[in-house]
Structure 1
Amino acid sequence: MIKLKIAVILFLLVHIAHAETFDFKTDSTSYLIGQQAKFKLSYEGKEDFSWPMIKDTLSKDLEIIECSNIDTIAPGKYEQSIYITAWDSGYFVIPPIISGNTQTAPSLIRFNSVPVNPQEDIKPIKKQMNTPWIFAESKKLIFTVLIILIVIGGASAITFYQLKKRNRKTEAIIPARPLMEVLWERYHALAESKIWETGQEKEFQSELSLILRSFLEFKHKIKALEETTGNITTQLNSLGLDRKFRDEVSHILNFSDMVKFAKQKGVFSQHERAINALKEILESHQEEIG
């Protein structure tokens, strides 16, 4: 009989040692609307207990405001503080919190309306608090604005490039005029002007000299526009060109220099001879390519 009692006691002790307690309790059961009720979710039992996932509501009337971190008191003993509230008055049932085969007991809580004294004066609305600007609060907006600006900038750049490319394609390509065509045009304009007859001998000889020098650079590939008459003559001699041609060029350039530097004006016949000699030189090139 004694052995049976001992066995029963040992069984009860083992059962108590392995018993689980899972509670969801608060210090009070009555709160005002919007007031946060602090509940403590606690468990004591197995070390491998799976802590339940707490959502943002307990029911359609009870909203979870905040959950603290899970506090390990000892192996197999855990606690967590959970703050809930309601935005309507009345009694509300706190449903069981379930984890596996273990659950808390349901309970009842009441939220009361805020008492109003009709005798008191209506108080003014409080001013907004001035809080310091925090980057973390605005970084999402800042990043969004930056992304929008980058997208707009990229789209504008692409559009500008495409329009520029399109305009470039539509621009008429004007081929460069042949140099000889330009030189002949300048020659005819100079010959028809006869400005040497109106006291513009320098202007006439300057243009005549430029036409001849441009022709020499084009035809014989020498430096002539910025060179002295002596240097041009030396270059022509080195090419072994016809003596008559070299003498004609040298005579035109020397006479032109004398007029340009006011050493003499020359008579009409000298200017006419110079323009005719230039024509023969230009025509000689036409005969070669013709």
Structure 2
Amino acid sequence: MRKQVFIFFSFMMLSIIGFAQSSVNDVLATIDTSKIKVGEQTDIYLEATFLAGSDIVFPTLKDTLYGGIEIVEIKEIDTAYEADVKYKKLSQRLTITAWDSGYYPIPPFEFVINGEHFKTKALMLEVSNVTIEAEADIKDIKNINETPFSFKEFFKIYWPYFLGGLLLIGLILILIYYFKNKPKVEKIKEIIKPSIPPHISALEALKQLESKKLWQQDKTKEYYSELTHILREYLEQRFEIHALEQTSDEIITALRFTDINEAEKRRLIKILMIADMVKFAKEKPLASENEMVIKEANAIIENTKLIEPESNKEEEAKS
């Protein structure tokens, strides 16, 4: 008998606890006004109260609720805690409207709390037509009301443009004053010195290179680098090609469009090939080859130099 009583009371306690837990989650949907006219708006409030820490999913909303009810705006979900911090309340406001008269049932909104589904009560919206008095007199169109001019309102709206205009005018006046009173600088006549012909400077550079005796000091790479630089600089000044920036192949190609003869081209190609082998393949030419290349370079410059007319030489001598 005692065992049966204990089981009965245990069952009652579990029922009460289960009922209390299910009553913790409460969802509600209310409407601000259930009667509107065509085109008017009203608000629906969705609320959910549940234990803090629970997982909740609010109803999924589309552009329309049911039939001709259109959702105009969906506000963000607001969070609030009850007096007892164990409970949490979420609320959301929807603004709706309808464009046809009639009665529109709004189905229950469904929430999901901790995997369990909860539905609100269904709502009803009544939409009525706008009444127009058929026998009312047709009234004339009212005249346009002119708003009196207010300098204060005008300045309030247009002050940025006014300020910008003043700054622009001020800048123009400053520039006019500056250019009008700018001190005149007398132009100094440049003394043009006669430029050294490229073949003279190139031959002098070759003579200085030979005096350094670089390859005799086992500085073969430096020797060929300076030699090819002298030749590249001469070709650039004499034939107006970008020899200082070009590779050996590009220089040879560019020489096709100059008046340099084939013999000098072959000499130049030979020097460039030996120099490239030294710089990139680390070849070590024979002493005879090192002496030969500088002689060939002198010959190229002597045979391709620009010969000036005698009249120009006489004028330079007089000056």
TM-score (norm 2): 0.38
Larger radius of gyration: 1
TM-score (norm 1): 0.41
